[in-house]
Amino acid sequence: MKALVKAKPEQGLWLQDVPIPDIAHNEVLIKIIKTAICGTDVHIYNWDKWSQKTIPIPMHIGHEFVGTIEKTGSHVVDFKPGDLVSGEGHLVCGRCRNCLAGRRHLCRDTKGVGVNRPGAHAQYLAIPVTNVWYCDKTIPLDVLACFDPLGNATHTALSFDVLGEDVLITGAGPIGCMAAAIAKHAGARYVVVTDVNPYRLDLAKKAGATLTIDVTQQSIEQAQKELGMKEGFDVAMEMSGNPAALASILNNMCHGGKIALLGIMPDNTDIDWNKVVFNMLTIKGIYGREMYETWYKMNSMIQSGLDISPLITHTFDYTEFEKGFEAMRSGQSGKVILNWNK
């Protein structure tokens, strides 16, 4: 089968023939219809420090996908060939305290599809049945291919009550824009989204942001005045990975405000702890998706009218993957889809 392989320890990915994966008794083989390119895939493409430490070579990558069940292992009874599925990209150990308690997203020994084991940018993918999500066929395939990052956005955006609250989102990447759409869908009053990239701010508007701010031009304090806000934001979501954005969040929260951190900061990023203490802020780190409460909620939100399709900006055939990665690397894109169904 064809797959996007990290074949050499340098920038790039290579479309290569690799064997169709074998499945264990508890695994399924999925025929991939579409994948989406994640920021993580771009890190691996770029061969940054994190990828050099983490990715074994050769390895085919990718973890955002939709496809159909091709084959099931001998112990799999709840899926059959032809079922439309997506899947959770984090494999958990099943034996640690949190796994045993059913808090699988808190597993201390998580492995990543397309990071620590062969991935989804391929014609077939093998994963454990416990990672498979049965899809609603009425949801567009492009949207289903984005359930993994939509899950990051959902996990973050629903971490704190946003109904009737004023929400600040720093970073209008695909996940920040999805979070803006979710916060609006979940009943927030104002959803203010910041970025430094006008293309991305435009996407945030399309996602339903009340106000977008280019922080190179305007401050969040000014935006608060414009909206007539007096006491600061009730909830913030950090989705840029930029320390300046985190600092700006701390400067713009109401007392008792709640902050969810998804963006991955550089090592040893400082923050002003006295703002946290004196303003009595709550900070929560977010990694991945809750299994499977996040999947349940995002599915229901899509079924009840949440629309993320304006955030899917490019689609390519898998043979044109270079164009897809170029669009992602340029910052002039939302989600980029690759079609594998030939």
Strands annotated E in the chain: 2-6, 14-17, 27-36, 59-60, 64-72, 84-87, 90-91, 111-112, 124-128, 132-134, 167-170, 191-195, 211-214, 233-238, 253-261, 282-285, 312-317, 335-339
**What backbone torsions phi and psi does residue 94 show, to the nearest 5 degrees?**
80, -10
Would you give the binding string for ligand NAD spanning residues 273-312, x where CB under 6 A is met? -------------xxx------------------------
Q: Is 203 annotated as a binding residue?
A: no
- Report in angstroms how near the CB of residue 85 gets to ligand NAD at its nearest: 21
Distance, in Å, from the CA atom of 213 to the CA atom of 127, rounded to the nearest integer, reads 41
- Report in angstroms how near the CB of residue 44 gets to Zn ion at its nearest: 24
Distance, in Å, from the CA atom of 204 to the CA atom of 177, rounded to the nearest integer, reads 5
Q: Of the two residues 186 and 262, which places its CB atom closer to ligand NAD in the complex?
A: 262
In the list 93, 141, 264, 271, the residue contacting Zn ion (rule: CB under 5 A) is 93
Question: Could you tell me the CA-to-CA distances from 71 to 61, 64, 124, 136 in Å, in that order?
Answer: 21, 20, 10, 20
In one-letter notation, the amino acid at residue 39 is: G
Interactions with ligand NAD, residue window 232-261 (CB under 6 A): 239-242, 244-245
Contact 306, 328 (CB under 8 A): no
In the list 13, 28, 76, 107, the residue contacting Zn ion (rule: CB under 5 A) is 107
What length does the chain have?
342
- Report in angstroms how near the CB of residue 102 gets to Zn ion at its nearest: 11
Q: Is 198 in the site for ligand NAD (CB under 6 A)?
A: no
Q: Is 194 in the site for ligand NAD (CB under 6 A)?
A: yes
Would you give the binding string for Zn ion spanning residues 63-92, x where CB under 5 A is met? -----------------------------x
DSSP state of 136: P
Q: Is 159 in the site for ligand NAD (CB under 6 A)?
A: no
Q: Is 324 in the site for ligand NAD (CB under 6 A)?
A: no
In one-letter notation, the amino acid at residue 244 is: A
In one-letter notation, the amino acid at residue 211 is: L
Q: Of the two residues 188 and 262, which places its CB atom closer to ligand NAD in the complex?
A: 262
User: HSE on the CB side for 232, CA within 13 Å?
Assistant: 17
- Residue 253's CB is within 10 A of a number of other CB atoms, namely 23
From 81-89, 96-104, 131-139, 183-191, give the range in contact with Zn ion by CB under 5 A.
96-104
Distance between alpha carbon 193 and the CA centroid of its chain, in Å? 17
Interface contacts to Zn ion, rule CB under 5 A: 92-93, 96, 99, 107
Known binding positions for Zn(2+): 38, 63-64, 93, 96, 99, 107
Known binding positions: 38, 63-64, 93, 96, 99, 107, 175, 195, 200, 262-264, 286-287
Interface contacts to ligand NAD, rule CB under 6 A: 39, 152, 170-176, 194-197, 200, 215, 239-242, 244-245, 262-264, 286-288
